[in-house]
Structure formats: C-alpha cells, structure tokens
Amino acid sequence: EPEVTQTPSHQVTQMGQEVILRCVPISNHLYFYWYRQILGQKVEFLVSFYNNEISEKSEIFDDQFSVERPDGSNFTLKIRSTKLEDSAMYFCASSEVRASYEQYFGPGTRLTVT
Amino acid sequence: GENVEQHPSTLSVQEGDSAVIKCTYSDSASNYFPWYKQELGKGPQLIIDIRSNVGEKKDQRIAVTLNKTAKHFSLHITETQPEDSAVYFCAALGAGNQFYFGTGTSLTVIP
C-alpha cells in the first residue's frame, strides 16, 4: 500500500541553525501539507501546497518557514533560523484532491532544537 | 477560527467492551470530520471520516456519528481488541481548508 515517507526520523539542531525536513508524498497525490505537534499538545496545521504554490497557511507559518517541491517526488519544509520553541514532531501529509478529502500522514520527524 | 475539544483524554476498557470518544467543534461551517489513529512511533492513520450531509457512518467495528445542530461528533469502537490500543484524534475541516485537531484520546484495551 502506498504511504507517505519522511526523513530524517529525528533531527537535532542548535538554535539559529537552518533545518530541512523532507517528505515523499504518495505518488499520485496532488495536495501536500505540513503539520506540527508540540509534545503534549494538539496537531496544528502549518501549510498546504498545490500546483507548486502555497494554498493556505496558518499563523504559525511565518517568514522563517518555507516549503518547496524541488522535484517530482520530494516536498520539503525549511526552517531558516530555528528557535527552541520549534522543537516538535513535524508531520507531512498528502491527499489526492484538496483538503476536504482524505489526507494520509507520514510517520513524522522529531525536531529537537537545543 | 475553529476550536475542537476532545474527551476523554484517556480511556481504558476491557477487551470486548465498547469505547466512545467525543468531540465538539465551534464553527458551524465545518463540513468534514475525520478520525485518526496514531500508534507509537507512527504518523496518524485515517480510520474513518464523515461529511456534514450524513449523520452516521459505519465501517465494521468502527462508527462515527455527527450531530450538526449540537456541533459534536463521536467515534464508537465495538468489540474492542488489544490492537485497538492507540491515541485517537478527531479533526474538523474549518475555514481556509485547514484541519483543526482535538487533543487526542489515549485508548487502552485491557486483555
């Protein structure tokens, strides 16, 4: 069964460093998403992406965040200058059609900022 | 924006019993409500969903009910098995096509 994959599973970085989280969505899906989950808190929407541009973004997704689909298979989330409060689990998801339909999540990347 | 509340935060049931998890939402415009199951070390897995034009949906041992007037929806798992043990999240599709998630329910099925 096709699935969303994410790398790395765990990333440790120092405050102020840039990180790139990578995702490979399900191959025939057209919409891509990033979510984050701070330990013990709700899963929060960050951004959705379609046709090589951002469709929607939340208040969390400020100028330090960016997303890119650098090729036909990868979808990345970049955090330019990490802060301690960026420590969280980051989930990528994809859907065949837009948000009102099934979204399939990857296993997540645990980001630890020290 | 949308606010989703989920109860209980933890739930323990005996194997074979039923489990019910409830969520409320605030935005009456929300029209899609998925439920996700998250096992340790894995991402959320969609297990069932319901749209606002339907009151109930069933898939084997899992059912979801939606009360649009009261703005709440529930997950029902019957004949629970140990492999049902996981964290369950409800979500609502709100304004801006964003998903708003509940805080999760940790379900433990005791053999």
A18-58: pLDDT as tens digits: 999 999 999 989 999 999 999 888 899 999 999 999 999 99
The three-state secondary structure class of B26 is coil
Q: How many Cβ pairs within 8 Å bridge chains A and B?
A: 57
Test A104 with B42 for CB contact under 8 angstroms: no
Test A45 with B102 for CB contact under 8 angstroms: no
For B84, phi then psi, to 5°, come to: -80, -10
Q: What is the pLDDT of residue A97?
A: 78
Nearest to B22 by CA among B60, B81, B71: B71
A89-106: pLDDT as tens digits: 999 999 987 655 788 999
The three-state secondary structure class of B15 is coil
Q: What is the pLDDT of residue B41?
A: 78
Q: What is the pLDDT of residue A71?
A: 87
Q: Is B70 exposed, middle or buried (0-12, 13-18, 19+ CB in 10 A)?
A: exposed
Terminal alpha carbon distance of chain B: 41
Q: What is the pLDDT of residue B25?
A: 96
Q: What is the pLDDT of residue A26?
A: 93
Which residues in chain A are contacts of B96 at CB distance < 8 A? 56
Q: For residues A58-76, give the mean pLDDT.
A: 92
Mean pLDDT of each 10-residue bin along chain B, 111 residues long: 92 98 93 92 89 90 95 97 96 83 95 94
User: Would you call B3 an interface residue with chain A, using a CB distance cutoff of 8 Å?
Assistant: no
Q: What is the pLDDT of residue A41?
A: 85
Q: What is the pLDDT of residue A99?
A: 58
Q: What is the pLDDT of residue A100?
A: 59
DSSP string across A13-75 = E-TT--EEEEEE--TT--EEEEEEE-TTS-EEEEEEEETTEEEEE-TT--TTEEEE--SSS-E
Q: Is B29 exposed, middle or buried (0-12, 13-18, 19+ CB in 10 A)?
A: exposed
